[in-house]
Amino acid sequence: MMQIPFVNIHTHTAAGEGIELVNIDNFDAAPGNSFVSAGLHPWQIGKCDQGQTLKAIERLCLNGKIAAIGEAGIDRAIGTSISLQMSVFESLLDIAKRHQLPMIIHCVKAYSDFLQIMQREPRVKMIFHGFNGNATTANQLLQHGAMLSFGHQLLNNSKLQQTFANIPNDCIFLETDTKEINISGIYNFAAELKHISLNELKRVIFNNLTRIFGNKWVTIG
């Protein structure tokens, strides 16, 4: 029987453990045909030339070099004006729409903004990375077709663990983000919360991956 790989849906550095969606900052270095995401993070908005960055992302899409747009999002805990964040996000959303790519969403205190956005754009797949909202928020997002990705917060937040255990398996991903943790460790922990075997969890998340991203990026080792 073939071995089902781990899937790390959001990291900034490749660790070589399973299939990893690596978020890149240096767009010039984007390798062809690899599983990477590129976007304009809310924290970076004031620090770069937005027009140039958006053009560069568009170019990556045209060359078929990225699998997702992200990180992209809205962060209501930072100083950058919401209208500016919103306009950058709308540009990224437009790119995602035109190239039919999923988005890796950074969302801080902005879930209600996203409920509205998703209502309007039901066809763009949004993966909320590092989800740590409550059960009500999780259910509202899921009703709008979101995917939720869980990382290190899952390891020590008992309410989040409960939420994770209760949501349907076909809407979950796991991630390491910037943390020095192994994706296999998060899988083991998550499988216990779900009361399923590690292999079953690997199968579930691998199916989610191929449903959202297709088979193009997947090679089973």
Interface with Zn ion by CB under 5 A: which residues?
Answer: 177
Strand order in the sheet with 103-108: 7-11, 19-23, 36-38, 68-75, 103-108, 126-128, 147-150, 172-174
State which residue has the least CB distance to Zn ion.
177
Q: Which is nearer to Zn ion, 4 or 160 (CB)?
A: 160
The minimum distance between CB 37 and Zn ion, in angstroms, equals 9
Identify whether the C-beta of residue 72 lies closer than 8 Å to the C-beta of residue 40.
yes
The minimum distance between CB 219 and Zn ion, in angstroms, equals 24
Q: Which of 146, 150, 142 is nearest to 177 (CA)?
A: 150
* Burial of 156: CB neighbours in 10 Å, binned 0-12, 13-18, 19+: exposed
The minimum distance between CB 151 and Zn ion, in angstroms, equals 9
Q: Which is nearer to Zn ion, 104 or 190 (CB)?
A: 104
The minimum distance between CB 130 and Zn ion, in angstroms, equals 7
Which structure tokens are listed for 40?
């304009």
Query: Would you call 112 helix, strand, or coil by DSSP?
Result: helix
Q: Which is nearer to Zn ion, 44 or 139 (CB)?
A: 44
Q: Which is nearer to Zn ion, 4 or 73 (CB)?
A: 73
Q: Which is nearer to Zn ion, 4 or 96 (CB)?
A: 96
The minimum distance between CB 152 and Zn ion, in angstroms, equals 11
SS3 labels along 45-64: HHHCCHHHHHHHHHHHHHCC
Query: Would you call 12 helix, strand, or coil by DSSP?
Result: coil
Q: Which is nearer to Zn ion, 20 or 177 (CB)?
A: 177
Other beta carbons within 10 Å of 69: 27
The minimum distance between CB 122 and Zn ion, in angstroms, equals 25
